[in-house]
A and B are shown apart, each in its own frame.
Chain A
Amino acid sequence: MQATEESIIKIQGLTREFGKQKALDNVDLQVKKGQVFGIVGENGAGKTTLIKHLLGLYKAEQGKVSVFGFDPVKNPAEVLGKIGYLSEQPDLPGWMTISQYMNYMSAFYPSWDKNLANNLIHVTSIDPDKKIKSLSKGQQARIGLCAAQAHRPELLLLDEPSSGLDPLVRKEILSAAIRTVIDDGRSVVFSSHYLDEVERICDHLIMFRGGRVVLSASMSEVLNNHQMITISSAELNRVGQDKIERLPGLIKLTEKRKEWYINCFSNYEELLPAIEKLSLDILEKRLMTLDEIFLSYCHEQKTLDEE
């Protein structure tokens, strides 16, 4: 299956089950060249499962996965040769020294840039003759990040790489690494629990819950089209909860201290006619933060599922 010229990743109807648990449920996804794609979701939402499908470590039970136009299971060498990968637990061979590890890794990638590798290691200020097992978790993550970038991959795949890094490294090194990749017109798929980081780095966001994609949009769309409208309890009683629940793009309706919060994923201009129709007396209207958006979707799904 050849993907479109621009799409480096194309996923169609991907479903994966572990026993009775659906880890991925009919996921469709397309990552274009030069895009920085952020994947967020609760623990167990399916982020790592998706990334493992991209790496060919999981075989699609249903649906299709195509990376650079290849099936990563059938053509692992072709796909993995263009990917730089770093996982939450870097899983580096502890018995190697850093220089041994870099030499070992360089053999796999004809595009390995030795100068870049040396520079990246130099920036970490870690002695290259040190054994990997003697490094801290954060230092190992940094070495893993150096190795993931040194062959100038067309796709940098980062599965929660920030977990072991301190805030400074997270902010400066990781962002710099990602920026370098983007500046060269390459792509990044990046899963993280740090929403501020995702907001700062990514230009497209995909949110998972229970294996399903609950939100997929460009970052600007996500940040500009999530509205939080506050009304009083009396207003809700006057209009009726059922009518408010029919507002376009409603994600969640919650009550807090006699005030009701309406969270919608909708352009305000699109929302306005419906609000005017109900003659809603709005106490406050503002855009939601990414944290609030994340919590809204997680909670919304739970509430709807329970209902």
Chain B
Amino acid sequence: MTAMIRALTWEVFFKNRVGLIGILLIVPMFWLFSKSFIDEVIGDYVPVGKISFAIMLISVLFLFAIFSYVDVNSKEKINEGFPPHLLRLPLPTWVLSVVPILLGTLAVSSFILLWINFFSDIKLSWLMQLAIISVAGSFISWSQATNWGLNTPTIQKAILLISIISALIFSVIAVFDINQQSTLFSKTYGSFGLIFLLMSGYYFCFLTLVRTRQNESFQIRLSFPTFEISRLFSSNSRPPQFSNGLWAQYWYEWKMQAFAIPLIIGLIAIVELGAAILGSERKIISIGFVTMFTLFLMSAHFMACNKLGGEDFSILPHCATRPLSDFDLAMSKLHPLAIAIFVSYLLFVSTPFLSLYIIGLPDTTTPPYGNEVVEKFGVSGMMALFSLVLIIFLAIFWAVSANGCAILLRDSKLIFFANIAAFIGLGVGLLSLMVYFKGQPGNFETALKASSIYQVLADSPHLIPLTFTGTIISFITFLMRPFQRVAKFEQLKIYAVISSVGLLISLGLLWSVELPIKVSAFASYSIVNLFLLCFLPFLIAPINVSKNRHR
């Protein structure tokens, strides 16, 4: 057995020898670099500690990737889980699972400890060193469990992963006293948390391998609770039942792409909460901004594309040959997107509030920064405006994502690259504005008031929004004929009703607040435009799906 373990160890190292040599070379290279360049040339401008930390972090992530011991199908780029040839080795399953985890933990923690020893002034107690090993071990074991058994995306697995990452973050914060508020109790709790994560990670790795080895048939030997938990780590789940083909296609699209949107937003929300625990209000705001931008950028692409991150927007033959009309096929993209946007939006909206609650507000009886608004419009006015803002943001999320998705469904390279360019342009523009007005919020107001657009808006608040309305209505009129070729207008009734209800509620909320007449007019016209844009994807998507499906 020792010989076999040695052989297994050799394989783990030999398979990744290039990467490992690269990592080992980073240490002397950085040492030389820091001595010859950072200390001598840029040491006064750039803190060495930050560069050192960044390089260590990248190297550690690289090491994690090396030790996430999986076979990848190079042709189809599919994660095939634990290398199948190793399953045939005459080794007990616990050894098969423990060797890569142990090697990974040793490699990662040794690297971190060496780095800290060489490149920082921090002196770690033996308890802290043990904590680092536990963190590395927990992370390695859970990433192994993910790679070996959790590669099937389901919402339960997503929730499990989010919970694990949250628990890991909270434990690390408690053990290392990152927020400088840890008590002995929280440190103990954190240590136990880490040990629990390490053990449970290993246990699930073991479960996954047993299941894989015994060809998914071992569950009868397990007790009921273990069976239920282990279900998460198997490819099996109960076959779903659908009332008709459209629902089956919704399920397919949800499982294929849409679920990933709230999942990623959920992960960002965890980081946001982490930032909140660290007590950084500015970080929360910037993470919120990143969340919103990410959601904008990815959701349209996710839903329209065949593979996450790919450039293929053609409708797969498997889907194109389903007996569904072009309209239904288009809706099977838009409906799951709507659910994904809604769930993501709830996460997006609730996380800053939760974060602000965690870092503590001076007055928690009113929503954050609401005092000024309450003074001006009263509590009911504030609530109306707050509700209006929530609806408007949801509508913006939907309008941007759904229109992006509907346009990308055309499967045109030109549209794809134009879409990417538009988002990059938007991102760069917003960042530039942020940098330009950073620390001087008054500048923004002054610059805005001096601009010619502001003058036009102040003189005739309806002019610009009405021009937009005219453009959108002209576009809708232009789309009617191609739409009629693929579907009937009656099919749009429900979406027209939903958009109208949203519009009426928004206008009702707006008009319930006593705003200056010009502001109210401008806002009303803008809201009409926004809801027209919300309705637009239901016209564009079927046309583009039809073009894409019947070439």
Interface pair A76/B325, CB less than 8 Å apart: yes
Chain A residues lying within 8 Å of B240, measured Cβ to Cβ, are 100, 103-104
Interface pair B78/A107, CB less than 8 Å apart: no
B331, chain A: closest CB distance, angstroms: 13
Once the chains are docked, how many angstroms separate the CA of A83 from the CA of B447?
64
Q: Does B247 contact A (CB under 8 A)?
A: yes
Once the chains are docked, how many angstroms separate the CA of A129 from the CA of B236?
6
Most B Cβ at <10 Å: residue of A59, A75, A94: A59
Q: Which of A85-93, A209-217, A248-256, A266-274 contacts B (4 or more CB under 8 A)?
A: A85-93
Q: Does A99 contact B (CB under 8 A)?
A: yes
Chain A residues lying within 8 Å of B326, measured Cβ to Cβ, are 76
B285, chain A: closest CB distance, angstroms: 37
Give residues 532-551 of B contacting A (CB, 8 Å): 549-551
Q: Does B522 contact A (CB under 8 A)?
A: no
Interface pair B550/A97, CB less than 8 Å apart: no
Chain B residues lying within 8 Å of A133, measured Cβ to Cβ, are 78
Once the chains are docked, how many angstroms separate the CA of A98 from the CA of B485?
36
Q: Does A194 contact B (CB under 8 A)?
A: no
Chain B residues lying within 8 Å of A55, measured Cβ to Cβ, are 320-321
Chain A residues lying within 8 Å of B236, measured Cβ to Cβ, are 97, 129
Number of interface residues of B (CB under 8 A): 37
Select A58's contact among B255, B485, B551, beta carbons within 8 Å. Answer: B551
Chain B residues lying within 8 Å of A131, measured Cβ to Cβ, are 152, 235
Considering the complex, give the chain A residue whose CB is closest to the CB of B236.
A129
Once the chains are docked, how many angstroms separate the CA of A299 from the CA of B345?
64
Interface pair A107/B323, CB less than 8 Å apart: no
Interface pair B321/A107, CB less than 8 Å apart: no
Q: Does B251 contact A (CB under 8 A)?
A: yes
Interface pair A93/B323, CB less than 8 Å apart: no
Once the chains are docked, how many angstroms separate the CA of A192 from the CA of B393?
55
Interface pair A104/B251, CB less than 8 Å apart: yes
Considering the complex, give the chain B residue whose CB is closest to the CB of A91.
B318
A143, chain B: closest CB distance, angstroms: 12
Interface pair B323/A81, CB less than 8 Å apart: yes
Chain A residues lying within 8 Å of B239, measured Cβ to Cβ, are 97, 99-100, 102-103
**B contacts with A: majority SS:** loop
Chain B residues lying within 8 Å of A93, measured Cβ to Cβ, are 252, 256, 318
Most A Cβ at <10 Å: residue of B239, B241, B318, B551: B239
A-side interface size class: 35 or more
Q: Does A80 contact B (CB under 8 A)?
A: yes
Q: Does A38 contact B (CB under 8 A)?
A: no
Q: Does A161 contact B (CB under 8 A)?
A: no
Chain A residues lying within 8 Å of B323, measured Cβ to Cβ, are 76-81, 83, 108-109
Give residues 305-327 of B contacting A (CB, 8 Å): 316-318, 320-326
Q: Does B243 contact A (CB under 8 A)?
A: yes
Chain B residues lying within 8 Å of A56, measured Cβ to Cβ, are 549-550
Interface pair B550/A73, CB less than 8 Å apart: yes
Interface pair A107/B317, CB less than 8 Å apart: no
Chain A residues lying within 8 Å of B243, measured Cβ to Cβ, are 107
Interface pair A57/B78, CB less than 8 Å apart: no
Chain A residues lying within 8 Å of B411, measured Cβ to Cβ, are none
Chain B residues lying within 8 Å of A80, measured Cβ to Cβ, are 321-324
Q: Provided the pairs A76-B323, A77-B324, A131-B235 are in contact, do residues A58 and B550 lie with their beta carbons within 8 angstroms?
A: yes
Chain B residues lying within 8 Å of A105, measured Cβ to Cβ, are 248
Interface pair A87/B235, CB less than 8 Å apart: no
Q: Provided the pairs A56-B550, A99-B239, A133-B78 are in contact, do residues A104 and B252 lie with their beta carbons within 8 angstroms?
A: yes
A145, chain B: closest CB distance, angstroms: 14
Interface pair B316/A91, CB less than 8 Å apart: yes
Interface pair B216/A85, CB less than 8 Å apart: no
Most A Cβ at <10 Å: residue of B216, B243, B316, B550: B550
Once the chains are docked, how many angstroms separate the CA of A76 from the CA of B327?
11
Chain B residues lying within 8 Å of A129, measured Cβ to Cβ, are 216, 235-236
Q: Does B328 contact A (CB under 8 A)?
A: yes
Interface pair B316/A107, CB less than 8 Å apart: no
Give residues 174-230 of A contacting B (CB, 8 Å): none
Interface pair A95/B255, CB less than 8 Å apart: yes
Q: Provided the pairs A80-B323, A129-B236 are in contact, do residues A103 and B242 lie with their beta carbons within 8 angstroms?
A: yes
Chain B residues lying within 8 Å of A109, measured Cβ to Cβ, are 245, 323
Interface pair B317/A91, CB less than 8 Å apart: yes
Give residues 274-319 of B contacting A (CB, 8 Å): 316-318
Subset of 5 A-B contacts with CB under 8 Å: A57-B317, A58-B551, A79-B323, A93-B318, A107-B244
Give the top 4 A-B pairs by smallest Cβ distance, nearest first: A107-B248, A108-B245, A81-B323, A107-B242
